[in-house]
Amino acid sequence: EVQLVESGGVAVQPGGSLRLSCAASGFTFDDYTMHWVRQPPGKGLEWVSLITWNGVSRHYRDSVEGRFTISRDNSKNSLYLQMTNLRTEDTAFYYCVKDVGGNWNYVFDSWGQGTLVTVSS
């Protein structure tokens, strides 16, 4: 059974930094593209970032480009999101999401339970 467990969400001030982690199990992690998807409380879903199976290709939504960095450690079955220069509009639940394939793709098939990031002064 696929399991994705996020951690690292906390309250932080605007301009601050944070690193989210996602521990994956139940599948061959280094075969699959992984994503971060976020959801502001009470609102809809927004895709944030993608990293292909080998970490070579990465893609970001425009509003986080240059501030967020996605990475992965296939030896630890882990996905990360380094978030810097945080803004109040980054406040959201952040979900780690598995893709059905390993390349540049946007087909989500498994989700974690989410971790809440709150950016507020």
Q: Which residues pair with 11 in a beta bridge?
A: 118
Residues in region 96-115 near another protein by CB under 8 A: 100, 106-114
DSSP 73: E
The 37-66 contact track toward another protein, x by CB under 8 A, reads: x-x----xxxx-------------x-----
To another protein, the closest distance from the beta carbon of 68 in angstroms equals: 15
Sign (positive/negative) of CA torsion 83, 63, 60, 24?
positive
Residues in region 18-37 near another protein by CB under 8 A: 37
Sign (positive/negative) of CA torsion 58, 61, 36, 28?
negative
Q: Which residues pair with 25 in a beta bridge?
A: 3
Q: Which residues pair with 118 in a beta bridge?
A: 11
Q: Decide whether 16 or 59 has the Cβ nearer to another protein.
A: 59
Contacts to another protein by CB under 8 A: 37, 39, 44-47, 61, 93, 95, 100, 106-114
